[in-house]
């Protein structure tokens, strides 16, 4: 039986595995290839630790960071599919459900705001 997300190390594993999939994905890789992952991945660990573990100090607006990107519905669907696939491979529990709900909300909100611009 898999356990729930409980620690920052769990979040690090989730982020590392998720980005490993993104960097191999033909549809999403072009949006991530320019990133300095040494800088970006700790930010994502901090974000998901804030969301899932109530870690304080994260203040960046995730949606605003994506507003200039040419993202379409299928990009969000693929991102969400890879996120859910990754988290399901690693964990199960209440934090998993919360993470999926938050990821869906982020994807939906970003897609909606992009359509408004």
Q: Which of 98, 62, 106, 61 is nearest to 80 (CA)?
A: 106
The rounded distance, in Å, linking the Cα atoms of 22 and 33 is: 10
Q: How far is CA 20 from CA 17, 51, 96, 110, in A?
A: 5, 21, 19, 22
Average pLDDT over residues 41-58: 94
Kindly report the CATH number that applies to the domain delimited by 8-116: 1.10.490.10
Q: pLDDT tens for residues 56-86? A: 988 888 777 777 888 999 999 999 999 999 9
Task: Output the pLDDT for position 114.
Answer: 86
User: What is the pTM for the complete model shown?
Assistant: 0.93
pLDDT for the residue numbered 38 = 95
């Amino acid at each position: 039986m898999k356990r729930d997300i409980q620690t920052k190390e769990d979040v690090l594993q989730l982020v590392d595995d998720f980005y490993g999939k993104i960097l191999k994905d033909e549809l999403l890789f072009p949006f991530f290839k320019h990133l300095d992952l040494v800088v970006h991945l700790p930010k994502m660990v901090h974000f998901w630790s804030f969301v899932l573990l109530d870690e304080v100090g994260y203040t960046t607006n995730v949606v605003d960071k994506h507003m200039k990107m040419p993202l379409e519905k299928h990009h969000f669907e693929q991102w969400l599919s890879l996120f859910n696939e990754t988290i399901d491979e690693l964990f199960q529990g209440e934090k998993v459900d919360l993470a999926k709900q938050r990821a869906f909300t982020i994807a939906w909100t970003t897609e909606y705001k992009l359509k408004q611009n």
